[in-house]
Structure formats: structure tokens, C-alpha cells
Structure 1
Amino acid sequence: MYSDRIPPESEGGVRPLSSALKVLALLDRIAARRGGVRPSAIAAELGEGRATVYQRLLTLVVAGWVEPVEDGRYRLTLRAARIARAAAEQAGLGDRAMHLLEALVAETQETASLAVLEGIEPCIVQRVEPAGILRAELRVGASLSLSGSASGRVLVAFADGATLERLRAAKADLPSRAVIEEVRRTGLAVSSGYMILGIRAAAVPVLDETGRCVAALSLVGPETRLDPDAWVAPLKRAAARLSAMLEGR
């Protein structure tokens, strides 16, 4: 599937690794299957042995690109979060996401961030601050607390069962049951206030077409201006627009 895009031999006589191409092709096939895929289905589709397909799957699992689901399927992880911003910009999606965050900042005059779960930590993948004013020290690529940050609490509260099991198995620092239940009930999380002195945040989930939480959208500002009631409406409107953008609507 890559033969029409990668020359079989470069000018220097160096050939692409066929084994690597096969692993990447498998990654593409998994990405094309909503909800993941079983090794037996991929093996039948490719006409290859299950052991061969499983070895490639294991390679992707060890590398952090794919994870097993309890029913025997394999699906993509969010390993690519740190480079997703650059890929999205090349596809034209990053500019639209930036526009939504800029509009949210213009409406609220607070810093807006978009975070996804990478491994066992929330990671900021996009961020916009009010012009000329530094609101917080966290930048794109920074990791957040699962238990203390508003984004972390959202990503845990709206995570699917397999993700929660993975986080618990990794002994991740999860929010309390009471916090999780409150976030699920209200659709809004507020940070603990312990991460950065004087700075608080509120966050809401960004859902895909299946209702799965793919990111957390947050507003961050000085604790003296924290007003979740005033922030929740613009946050949820922006999250709905972002969900529609991610769905291609």
C-alpha cells in the first residue's frame, strides 16, 4: 500500500525496510477500523498467518501505538498526541482548531487549552493565551496531573472501561470516586488549585461521533477570576464545535 508513495530504491541505493512498511500498513488498517480489530480478522484479510500478524501487533503495542481491549480487539492509543498537532496543521485541521480556541479566548479573555491522554498523563496539544498577557506557565507538550488538573479529571471521568483499567494497572494517580462522579454528573471539572498557586482551570470533554471522550477543553485563569458558571456555556459551545470539526462536519 506504500509502493506508490515511497520509491523502491533511493538515489543512494538505500531501500525502505519492508518489515517496517508492513507494520505501518497494519497501523493504517487498525486506524481504519472503528472500535479496533481482532488479529484473526486482520490475518484473514491479509492472507497471512496469525503469528506473523500478532508479532507486528506486539511491536506496535510495545512501541505504544496500539493497545489491547478486553474482548480481544486491538485499537490505537493516543501515542501520537505530541506530533498530532503538526500532522493536523498539514491537513488543515490545526488551523481550524486554533481558530476555535482563539474564539474562546476572545469571548472569555482567559487561556484556552486542549489536552489528550498520552500514556498515563494528560498532555497539552494546543493552547491559546490572551494577547500580551501570560496566564500560566504550562505550554504545548506539557504534562498535567490526572487527579489535580481539570483536564485530567475530565479525561478520567469520561474514559472508557479499558482505559480506566490501564490507568489503574499502571497505578496512576486518579481522582477520587466522588470527584469522578461529580464530573460525570455535571459534565464539568474544576482543578484542585494545588498544581500552580493562584491558577485554576475548568474543563469539559470533547466527544467523537461515538460519544467517546477524545480530549479535554479547558479555560485557565487566576483563581480570583475563577467562575465555572460563567465559563461552562462558552466551553461547552466550543467543545461541540470542536467535536463537529473532528467528525468532519
Structure 2
Amino acid sequence: MKEARTRPKLEGVASADRVLTVLAAFRRGDDALELSELARRTALVKSTIMRLCISLEKFGFIERLDDGRYRLGVEAARIGSVYQQSFALEERIVPVLDRLAAESLETASFYIRRGDQRLCLFRADSPSPLRMHVRPGDMRPMDESAIARVLAAFGDRKRSARTGIALPVYTAGITDPHVASLAMPVFGSGERLLGALALSGPLSRLTEDRADGLKPRLREAAERLSAELGAEL
């Protein structure tokens, strides 16, 4: 008889998932959160959250204030800083976004993928008063929008791989019925995807015809940025 296979122990994985759930509960603009608010956002019981926060506090990811509220600790800030510095993204990308926004009169942004969502990492606003109001740090779904499609198509393959999509990608009215976007992938060393460079604006202004006129500019900016970040031309 064959010996029965031992089932893998998943306790450690489940515990790690809960720890990350607590950290992910903090959003842009939060200062400190009550235990009850953490429970609401994570769907975890308060006793579990308190136990997880003890471990997070030990490593500096969480700080517990005298009034019992919790806020992110210095280690969370350090890792965020290390992430950005390790890729030298900000100093390379922000000037590109500023130029694109000034030339196109639309909002320029750079997104990365975070699980089943996309994160706005950097942004340069359109000079027009009618513009998008997503801020750096905000999350959006991985839907069928241009930015999400680029991140999904190139996330696990090299630049040279065939994806079946024409670049830049243009979509309208997906995440928001009044918003249109145009997106291109940006690659780094090893031809791996770093993120998506995008132009976004109100659909009334960023029509398909106008997007066609902006495509060469966005393509050139993305390819130049890729070369600066280590991708081979």
C-alpha cells in the first residue's frame, strides 16, 4: 500500500496572511486607527488583531499609542524608502511625468501592480482644472482599463514576449464611466516590467481620436524611460 501523503501545514501561511491583512488595512491619510476600525477593515476578531500587533510592534511595523490606537511604525516607512531607492524610480520617472503632463495637458501617472490591485506610485496633474484626482498611494482594481491591462499582460513575461495587445493601450469608461486612459509598459534590467506609464483624462477631452495623436509621444517617453532604467533597446 502507498503511504498516505502528509498534508502541508498551512498554519504559518494563514498567520502570515493575517499579519499582512492588518498592515494593508492602513490607507493613505490615516493617522492612527482604533482597534474597532482595524477589526472592521480586516474582518478579524479584536483578540487576533491584538496578538498580531504585538508581533508587528516588536519588529517596528506597528506602534501602539498610549490611548490604545495603532499606527504604522518606522520600519514600514524604511521599507517603502528602500523600495523606491533600490530602483531609483522617483528621480527618473517624475521628470518624465511632468513633461508628459505639460505637453499633453492630461494627467500623467506611473502604476505598479500590487496583488489584485494597481497602485499609483507617482503622478503629475494636468494643468487643466478638469482632471483626475487619484493621488500617489491610491489603489485601483485590476480591471480592463488600459493601465491594468498593461500590468497584467507584461507582469510575468519579458519585454520581447508576444502579448497580443497593441501598444499603447487605450480604454474609456472602464473604472470610471467619465475617464479615459492611455498606457504603455516600462521595463528595467532583464527586460522585466517595472510598471505602467499612463495618460488619463476626462472622456469628453481624451477621446479616441485625441489619444491616437498622443500615442507616439507616450510610446517614446516609455521607451526612453525603459532605457534609462536598464532595459536594452
Fold shared by both chains (TM-score > 0.5): yes
**Is residue 109 from structure 1 mapped to residue 92 from structure 2 by the alignment?**
no
CA distance in 2, matches of 1:210, 1:153: 21
Contact 2:101 2:127 in 1 (8 A): no
1:118 to 114, 120, 135: 114
SS of aligned partner of 1:185? coil
**Is residue 188 from structure 1 mapped to residue 184 from structure 2 by the alignment?**
no
1:219 to 199, 202, 208: 199
Paired AA for residue 106 in structure 1: A
Contact 2:113 2:119 in 1 (8 A): yes
Paired AA for residue 121 in structure 2: V
CA apart distance, 1:158: 1.6
CA distance in 2, matches of 1:199, 1:123: 17
Q: Which is further off, 208-217 or 185-194?
A: 185-194
RMSD: 3.4
**Is residue 235 from structure 1 mapped to residue 218 from structure 2 by the alignment?**
yes
SS of aligned partner of 1:191? strand
Residues 95, 212 of structure 1: alpha-carbon distance in 2 compared, 3 angstrom cutoff? closer
Contact 1:85 1:126 in 2 (8 A): no
CA apart distance, 1:140: 0.9
Partner of 1:141: 137
1:198 to 178, 189, 202: 178
TM (norm. structure 2) is 0.56
Identity %: 31
Paired AA for residue 125 in structure 1: L
Which deviations, in whole Å up to 9, do the C-alpha atoms of 1:48-78 show, x marking residues without a partner?
A: xxxxxxxxxx89x8677xxxxxxxxxxxxxx
Contact 1:148 1:192 in 2 (8 A): no
Which deviations, in whole Å up to 9, do the C-alpha atoms of 1:197-248 show, x marking residues without a partner?
A: 3211110111123222220111001112222211211111111122123229
Partner of 1:54: none
TM (norm. structure 1) is 0.53
Please list, as runs of the form range in 1=range in 2, the aligned pairs for 1:14-25 lying within 5 A after superposition: none
Which deviations, in whole Å up to 9, do the C-alpha atoms of 1:91-150 show, x marking residues without a partner?
A: 865233211110111111110010001112111100101236351121111112222321
SS of aligned partner of 1:153? helix
Paired AA for residue 186 in structure 1: A
CA distance in 2, matches of 1:119, 1:236: 26
1:159 to 155, 167, 170: 155
Residues 208, 90 of structure 1: alpha-carbon distance in 2 compared, 3 angstrom cutoff? closer
CA distance in 1, matches of 2:81, 2:127: 21
CA distance in 2, matches of 1:93, 1:146: 22
CA distance in 2, matches of 1:92, 1:211: 16
Contact 1:158 1:213 in 2 (8 A): yes
Which deviations, in whole Å up to 9, do the C-alpha atoms of 1:166-192 show, x marking residues without a partner?
A: xxxxxxxxxxxxxxx9x7331222234
